A and B are shown apart, each in its own frame.
Chain A
Amino acid sequence: MAISDKKHNLPDNRLERVPEYGCAPTGSTAQMRLADTWECNPGWRGWFSTVDHKTIGLRYLVTAFIFLLIGGIEALIMRAQLSLPDQTLLTPEQYNQLFTMHGITMIFLYALPILSGFSNYLWPLLLGSRDMAFPRLNALSYWIFLFAGVFMYASFPLGQAPNAGWFNYVPFSGPVYNTGPNIDVFALGMVLLGISTTVGAVNFIVTLFKMRAPGMTINRVPILVWGTLTASVANLITIPAVSLAFLLLWLDRQVGTQFFDVANGGKPLLWQHLFWIFGHPWVYAIVLPAMGIVSDALPTFCRRPLVGYTAVALATMATMMFGFVVWVHHMFATGLPTVSLSIFGAASMAISIPSAVAVFAWIATIWLGRPVFKTPFLFFAGFVILFVIGGLSGVMVAAVSLNWQLNETYFIVAHLHYVLLGINVFPVIGGIYYWFPKFTGRMMNEKLGKWSFWVMFVGFNAAFFPMHIAGLLGMPRRIYTYSSHMGWDSVNMITSIGSFIFAIGILIFLVNVMISLKRGVLAGSNPWDAATLEWSISSPPPAYNFAVIPVIASRHPLWENRLNESSERSSLSEGYLLTTGHETIGTSPIDAKPQVILKMPGDSYTPFFAGLFVSLLFVGLLFHWWTFTGVMTAACCVTLILWMWPRQSLVQRAVSNAGHSSQNNSEKI
């Protein structure tokens, strides 16, 4: 193959080359070479050192789902306590810890990580790449997430779990009123988890802008990618607010600073601002990618493309833009000036506009399509209904006057569960039904699937709809019991029964997963006859994802012949081969023109150790083991230096220098 000559330097095929272009059918030399290169080490070595986005994605999914189950069990215990008046199953302090851990678990350890799982697994497959932009950072992100989760649960068995609610208001969470280790565990755990979320967000953003297959222009990426991108940008901007808030709180508690100390001029409302500047964008970060799952998967079951792709993509970003300026609606009852309340109330109501755009796009897709009522479709359609109910109660509480009435009542609990379970859990379970064949190569059982949906859907509404009424009857949230004179008995009983029915639905789903893993019908590469790239490769996908990097000509590479939108066709079997080591193609940010051959790192232990040392550093801070903390900081630095050390194999170093170029110089003159 001819090497094009460049004016400024001698052509050096280690620094630039014309990438091989062609086909690599199964069994060809090129395909075998790829399999050899990308397959990770077997055994425990591979387990600790893998950077394969598919493995990491599945780990995220499984770990986050375990946290969902833990958080669910906590909820069931609380519902048992509240099923009848004057119960004594739990003490007030136990109840405080349970509702706090329930919130922390569901919101921080389940809701975003599960979506990171989907995105990690799916992004390179959706975008036609061989891995994420930073494979090692991806592994680091998972390890820190896991360690942070364990960290935040460490004091739970000792009966000293965080106990001030998931938004942890000062002064109750300050050093005067909360003297145990409870809040310190939460504070340091959140800073640690913030590192994981941040590096994960960086990875998604860079992957989107650099790693798309040639031809996948920015207006051809799936909506899930838009959702995760938007969420990642938001995380990048807002995670520092909450990490800072928790760090300042820890400093107040353990070092003696005075940020939130009322007696010395500190301000408790500072906490609320910093927390909700993060907190509100976060609730969109944990729903937008899930809405993306629906926008991508629902059309498959409607047998037509999504109605209003551009509108939905723009609505996704508009929702987040509004999401940055609505945090004060969590603080309507704190005595802020009326003008501020009006502005934030209006902005909160305006969010219903982009949300409605998305809802009408989904309804129109179902309306104009020919729906196939498979299990994933049921979950996605159910999601639309729950989203509308949760959205409506959201508009209600955005009104300042009504908000004052309903603040801190069960109405708010009902609203937030409708939106978080409705827009996160239902799409997630639907998404697992949808992509399970891609993950495992086997279909999930349809009959059990339909049962799990209907039981969950009925249980969910029985559990959470009555909470609206409990709220209107004046029942405050976060009380550990109530007297039967209050008239809240029957709504609570119905809620508790509903919550157990919902749990049975989840159980049926889990049984289905177990059975299908072993005995599910074998799935081909595209069992749902779907349109996007991940279905063009075998199930489960090979380690290298794509034998050739595809060239994309439309939003629906697998439906081009039947949609016939233009004369151009994507090329899925012919493209860049890139079989010289771990390679993939880097493209330009907007129109995805090939720009660079990226050298990807292979398996590495550094992410595991970096994650471990960082986590131990936080353990040191928690126990005030200053020497240990110092040693761990040093260990972290050494690990990072090894990680960053420029490598010949990644062409991070000069290769023309004599003495440094002993390898890879096959064509040296």
Chain B
Amino acid sequence: MNLFDHNRSLPIGSDAKLSTGWWGVLALIVTESALFAYLLFTYFYLSAQTEQQWPPEGLPSLTMPVINTIILLASSVSVWASEHYIRLKQIRWSIGLMALSIILGISFVLIQLIEWHKKPYGLTSDLYGSLYFTITGFHMCHVVIGIAVLLLLLVWLSLGYFDDRRHAAVTIGGMYWHFVDVVWLFVFATLYLFPYSDSV
């Protein structure tokens, strides 16, 4: 039988990208991306046919949303770095960077809550409001779940559960966080940048 060498040594258990969990999170990301695609489809479908003032308050202010976007992207970088430092066997750095990511994530949530508060419309006041709050609400849910995941990773890191050879949970959880951040770019482009395309 020379199909393969059965005397080769094989890793055991959840070994990073060989683990089923890694494939599982990729499949989860496919289905979640589809969900956001349908949300944005809903937005474009309705906005293309609307006769209302769109958005109701005129062109959205970009300053805070842009800052917030940068904060979210920075958190992705720091999650990436946290995983990188596990591989370098520098768990303290890894823990610190994971904590930083969580703080950045929470800052995003707080700034987004302020943004919500400033809007003159609500979820039920008009069609635009229904869309805006449903889409950003969906994203907010994902951020909150993502922060919960990062918190768990922080606890597990602190308990010394992971080292350079076994840290699949960080790879998997980190991937989910990157997804949450990338999908925000689409949400941001749709809700904040797209309205400007009509006014040019």
Residues of A within 8 A of B (CB): 3-4, 6, 9, 14-19, 21, 133-134, 137, 198, 201-202, 205-206, 209-211, 214-215, 236-241, 243-244, 248, 251, 255-259, 261, 264-267, 270, 273-274, 277, 551, 553, 568, 571, 576, 585-586, 593-599, 637, 641, 644, 646, 650-657, 659-660
Contacts and interface: CB of A to CB of B under 8 A. Distances in A.
30 contacts: A16-B11, A17-B9, A21-B6, A133-B24, A134-B24, A198-B31, A201-B31, A205-B23, A206-B20, A236-B27, A240-B35, A244-B42, A248-B134, A255-B124, A256-B123, A265-B50, A265-B126, A270-B42, A571-B1, A585-B10, A595-B10, A595-B18, A596-B13, A596-B15, A596-B19, A597-B12, A598-B13, A650-B13, A651-B13, A654-B166
B85 to A, nearest CB: 14
B194 interface: no
B16 to A, nearest CB: 10
A568 B4 CA distance: 13
A244 B39 contact: yes
A16 B10 contact: yes
A653 B162 contact: yes
A18 B7 contact: yes
Interface string B38-72: 11011001100111100000000000000000000
A202 B24 CA distance: 6
Nearest to A237: B34
Given A255-B123, A653-B166, 16 more contacts: A215-B4, A240-B31, A258-B127, A259-B127, A259-B130, A265-B50, A265-B51, A267-B49, A273-B45, A274-B41, A568-B3, A594-B10, A598-B20, A644-B169, A650-B14, A653-B162
A21 B130 CA distance: 61
Nearest to B28: A202
A18 B13 contact: no
Q: Which of B15, B32, B45 has the most CB of A within 10 A?
A: B15
Contact of B156 (A15, A257, A593, A646): A646
Given A236-B27, A551-B1, A660-B160, A576 B6 contact: yes
Contacts of A257: 123-124, 130, 134
Q: Shortest 8 CB-CB distances between A and B: which pairs?
A: A651-B13, A654-B163, A240-B35, A256-B124, A257-B130, A202-B27, A596-B18, A206-B23
Contact of B127 (A19, A240, A265): A265
A618 B10 CA distance: 44
B12 A237 contact: no
Interface in B132-173: 134, 148, 152, 156, 160-163, 165-169
Given A596-B11, A656-B163, A134 B20 contact: yes
A601 to B, nearest CB: 11
A239 B38 CA distance: 10
A3 B20 CA distance: 25
A256 to B, nearest CB: 4
A651 B12 contact: yes
B30 interface: yes
A586 B23 CA distance: 12
B24 to A, nearest CB: 6
A192 B23 CA distance: 23
Interface in B86-114: none
Contact of A9 (B42, B161, B165): B165
Contacts of B160: 654, 657, 659-660
Given A16-B11, A267-B46, A598-B13, A241 B38 contact: yes
Contacts, number: 191
B8 interface: yes
B45 A593 contact: no
Contacts of A551: 1, 3
B94 to A, nearest CB: 12
Given A241-B38, A598-B13, A214 B45 contact: no
Contact of B169 (A6, A236, A646, A656): A646
A510 to B, nearest CB: 37
Contacts of B39: 244
A400 B134 CA distance: 36
A214 B9 contact: no
A214 B168 contact: no
Contacts of B148: 637
A657 B6 contact: no
A586 B13 CA distance: 10
A651 B126 contact: no
Contacts of A205: 23, 27
Nearest to A259: B130
B4 to A, nearest CB: 5
Contacts of B23: 133, 205-206, 209-210
Contact of B10 (A19, A650, A659, A660): A19
Contacts of A274: 38, 41-42
A244 B38 contact: yes
Contacts of A239: 31
A257 B133 CA distance: 10
B36 to A, nearest CB: 8
B4 A593 contact: yes
A283 B109 CA distance: 40
A18 B13 CA distance: 13
B7 to A, nearest CB: 6
A577 B133 CA distance: 55
Contact of B124 (A133, A134, A258): A258
A548 B160 CA distance: 36
Nearest to B39: A244
Contacts of B30: 236-237
Contact of A214 (B3, B31, B131, B162): B3
B126 A264 contact: yes
B46 A14 contact: no
Contacts of B14: 599, 646, 650-652
A16 B9 CA distance: 6
A652 B18 CA distance: 12
A14 B117 CA distance: 53
A202 B168 CA distance: 18
Nearest to A261: B127
Of B46, B134, B162, B166, the most chain A CB neighbours within 10 A belong to B166
Nearest to A3: B9
Contacts of B52: 265
B35 to A, nearest CB: 4
Given A551-B1, A595-B10, A15 B165 contact: yes
Given A653-B161, A654-B160, A594 B8 contact: yes
A212 B88 CA distance: 33
A195 B121 CA distance: 32
A654 B149 CA distance: 19
B46 A270 contact: yes
Contacts of A133: 20, 23-24
Contacts of A214: 3-4
Nearest to A576: B6
A211 B14 CA distance: 14
A258 B4 contact: no
Nearest to B54: A265
Given A236-B27, A267-B45, A267-B46, A586 B20 contact: yes
A440 B127 CA distance: 57
Which of B19, B46, B160 has the largest number of chain A CB atoms within 10 A? B19
B131 to A, nearest CB: 8
A610 B38 CA distance: 27
B193 to A, nearest CB: 22
Contacts of B15: 596
Contacts of A259: 42, 46, 127, 130-131
